[in-house]
Structure 1
Amino acid sequence: MGLKKVWFITGASKGLGLSLVNQLLQAGQSVAATSRTGSELSRAVNTNSEKFLPLEVNLADEISVEQAVNATIAKFGRIDVVINNAGYGVGGSIEELSDEETRQAFDVNVFGTLNVIRKASPHLRKQRSGHIINIASIAGIAGATGWAVYSAAKAAVIALSEVLAEDVKEFGVKVTVVTPGAFRTSFLTQESLVLAQHPIDEYAEVRNVHARYLKMDGAQAGDPEKAAAAMISLASMPNPPLHLLLGNDALLRANAKLDALTKEIQDWKAITISTDY
């Protein structure tokens, strides 16, 4: 793994976040980790290591995020790698999801990520180094029926990461956006997945897709321990990728989307170029 680094990881009490924390601590790295409930995080990680700093943070609250970043700097002196892993799925058609359900999804998946980047950036900029790793989803590249809001939130994470990479390049700070497919974590359980509280009967296909997804719980193709190891390896690369797909399902969906997009652009090219002066 190379040099010892200080890692700041959100959404660390379960799933991919927990795999990341455990692997990093085993490798002797310093880890600050956040969760909505500090006690749940401490119980999940179960260590009294001096190199572990558990933090209870509300990511949608900028002040809460700032306090967590400051506490990390106070304990470890710096932050080298930021992993914005916190997020949750939200299922339902746009019509079925209320404004509140939709905004909550963006609060955690998008605004939480933005708050962490905003508060960590001054430190990374000052030390002229660092790596920001944002976890999106293949849904942000190729969405599926019944997941419009989730896909939109993850597409926002991909788009902001692409431009962020350009903005911070001159400070020696690297950015990678990771787009996993389905991994065998707690993602498809109630604590990580919210379905529309007021479903509309006529959206039969949305219900069918959701039922298929829920049946997949525990049978996903991706191994979270391998995903965590792949993400950790990014931090020691001199030239890490801007985009990293994880899982064969993610690869298939991304390629299908690229093929469809390329074909559509070509098919409608005549109209596209007819609008110039």
Structure 2
Amino acid sequence: MLTLKNDYLTVQINPLGAELSSVKDNDSGLEYMWQADKTYWGRHAPLLFPIVGRLQDNQYRLNGTTYHMTQHGFARDREFTVLAQDTTSATLQLTADDQTKALFPSDFTLTVHYTLKDHQLQFAATVDNPADTPLTFSFGAHPGFNVPLGDPTADFSDYQVTVSPKKVYQRVPLVGPYSDTQHSVPMDLTQPMVLDHDLFDHDAKVLTLDNQETTLMLSSGVNDHGVALTLRAPYVGIWSPYPKQAPFVCFEPWWGLADDVQATGDLETKVAIHRLAAHDSFQASYQITYF
């Protein structure tokens, strides 16, 4: 486990999946990150690569060959190499090998960088295509935050999610685990969304952001603790497992979507897919402020 620390926060990152596993307030000992209780969901903040969400029948075709891959891809279950670490930053990397190529035949390099600055953790990812042919992929993140934060007597419904800019967003419905991009519906977020487990009876709320800078803030009236995640991405998911009464919520920056209900199974035509030119790079980032 890698540890980053400054005057305010102590952060732990697991090289397995390069997963952010803990963020604690140094003064109070408050743990902000979901602690992977398998009763509800056995992960903290997995990275999603080379797909986001689920494939129809857990398979896809590329260049005429069919491959099998489970939800969110394999990066979250792979050991990353630690390239660099100091007191407040760490850089980890995953590259293609025989095991990844059995699931995903392309060459790639995925490099992630965490930087702790005051009360904020900054995350950046780079996907490099070392090949002479295009790289087709998606990328995402899936950090989970404890609800409640710092007050064991508080309830899930004492918390709210404020989205800025405050406006009516287009939401991509999920039919089972699949995206229904042809039937987007408006979601009024001009006012904060009060958390309720029933909000997630049809899985995540997936908002279309069109790469506009957006901040999601988790807060309550019971104390001054919360988190704010700022991103610039095509989509963001807000999720808590249902019907489990899980004491956490996830804010999920997505550069991709689960297979559409009309998916053909061809990765090249998958909804919201990225096609990276030979020897080109893709960048993604977000920042989490803890208060």
Task: Answer yes or no: same fold by TM over 0.5.
Answer: no
- Greater Rg, structure 1 or structure 2? 1
Q: Which has the higher helix share?
A: 1
TM-score when scaled to structure 2?
0.29
Structure with a larger share of its residues in strand: 2
TM-score by structure 1 length?
A: 0.30
